[in-house]
């Protein structure tokens, strides 16, 4: 019996561009994550917006999007505009860790699948031990660097924090495996806009209330200055005993600053 390879019709949605490809373009992405150590543990903040991007290599994705919006009347936007408004980008990992991610949402979901398998394998030993935040962070650095070396990166910047045996841990890793730990970290525009605020105002004995106020100040600055930020955020807390992720809420803002009313005033060569 002979088997013939089926040929895709020329007018099919599946064209040559539907073949297996590397992650060259992020499609649905989240922006900054900001985290810090406080007196009893780790605090982390992230907004809930996710933006869609379009490239010439995404014809199948675009066709499916048009079908979704036009035929099923579902709200959404395309291009570099807000597409989803309720994307949770912080997740507890095992008993002692909390993970936040910026970047491609589908790659973040893949990382969560890896971590589910890691935690399950660890629990199967049933030896009374469990992976702490340092071990999980080291695992993530190896995963990100391994995928980078295969030229198939996971398009994310990750923040991993946690508490185990009274020791607080906070670290970050980029999509190419660059990693470090610190008393406060941020991804995306937060590296440029939030870290200066944290360097100036963070201190070791920060209370929970002061830590939340400091994170809200950082997120408010990001909302003013980062086009991808939205005014709907969550703040997560992890201590020795538990992990808590707040319900989404909005910050009070003030848009009447003169620099906002006429941002091009005094700019040379502006329109």
Q: What is the pTM of this model?
A: 0.81
Distance CA 26, CA 16 (A): 19
CA 268 from centroid of its chain's CA atoms = 36
Q: At what angle do helices 133-149 and 105-124 cross, to 10 degrees?
A: 130
Distance CA 140, CA 162 (A): 14
The CATH number linked to 107 is 3.60.20.10
Q: Does residue 100 belong to any structural domain of this protein?
A: yes
Q: Does residue 19 belong to any structural domain of this protein?
A: no
Q: Identify the pLDDT of residue 259.
A: 79
Q: Identify the pLDDT of residue 20.
A: 58
Range of the domain at 209: 28-52+80-261
Burial group, residue 72, by CB count within 10 angstroms (0-12, 13-18, 19+): exposed
**CB atoms < 10 A from the CB of 267, how many?**
9
Active site residues: 23
Q: Identify the pLDDT of residue 22.
A: 57
pLDDT, one tens digit for every residue, the chain (271 residues): 454 444 544 444 455 555 555 566 788 899 999 999 999 999 999 999 988 765 444 433 433 333 333 333 333 334 467 888 999 999 999 999 999 999 999 999 999 999 999 999 999 999 989 999 999 999 999 999 999 999 999 999 999 999 999 999 999 999 999 999 999 999 999 999 999 999 999 999 999 999 999 999 999 999 999 988 999 999 999 999 999 999 999 999 998 888 788 877 777 765 5
Distance CA 36, CA 213 (A): 12
Q: Does residue 208 belong to any structural domain of this protein?
A: yes
Four-point Cα dihedral 108, 113, 115, 116, nearest 10: 140
Q: Identify the pLDDT of residue 19.
A: 58
Q: Identify the pLDDT of residue 139.
A: 98
Q: Does residue 75 belong to any structural domain of this protein?
A: no
Q: Which of 132, 127, 108, 106 is nearest to 52 (CA)?
A: 106
Q: What's the DSSP call for residue 270?
A: -
Q: Does residue 156 belong to any structural domain of this protein?
A: yes
Burial group, residue 88, by CB count within 10 angstroms (0-12, 13-18, 19+): middle
- Structural domain total, the chain: 1
Q: Identify the pLDDT of residue 74.
A: 32
8 A C-beta contact, residue 136 and residue 173:
no
Q: Does residue 70 belong to any structural domain of this protein?
A: no
Q: Does residue 227 belong to any structural domain of this protein?
A: yes
């Amino acid at each position: 019996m002979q088997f013939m390879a089926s040929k895709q019709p020329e007018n099919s949605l599946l064209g040559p561009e539907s073949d297996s490809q590397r992650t060259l373009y992020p499609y649905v992405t989240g922006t900054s994550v900001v985290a810090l150590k406080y007196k009893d543990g780790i605090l982390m903040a992230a907004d809930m917006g996710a933006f869609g991007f379009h490239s010439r290599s995404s014809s199948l994705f675009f066709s499916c999007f048009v079908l979704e919006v036009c035929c099923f009347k579902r709200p959404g936007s395309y291009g570099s505009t807000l597409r989803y408004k309720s994307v949770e980008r912080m997740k507890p990992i095992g008993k002692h860790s909390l993970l936040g991610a910026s970047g491609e949402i589908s790659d973040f979901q893949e990382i969560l699948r890896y971590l589910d398998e890691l935690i399950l394998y660890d629990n199967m030993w049933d030896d009374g031990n469990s992976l702490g935040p340092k071990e999980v962070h080291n695992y993530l650095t190896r995963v990100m660097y391994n995928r980078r070396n295969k030229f198939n990166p996971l398009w994310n910047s990750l923040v991993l924090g946690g508490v185990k045996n009274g020791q607080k841990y906070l670290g970050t890793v980029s999509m190419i495996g660059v990693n470090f730990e610190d008393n406060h970290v941020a991804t995306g525009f937060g590296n440029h806009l939030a870290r200066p605020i944290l360097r100036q105002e963070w201190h070791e004995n920060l209370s929970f209330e002061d830590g939340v106020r400091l994170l809200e100040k950082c997120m408010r600055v990001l909302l003013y200055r980062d086009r991808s930020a939205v005014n709907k955020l969550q703040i997560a807390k992890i201590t020795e005993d538990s992990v808590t992720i707040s319900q989404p809420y909005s910050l009070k803002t003030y848009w009447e600053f003169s620099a906002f009313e006429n941002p091009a005033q005094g700019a040379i060569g502006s329109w």
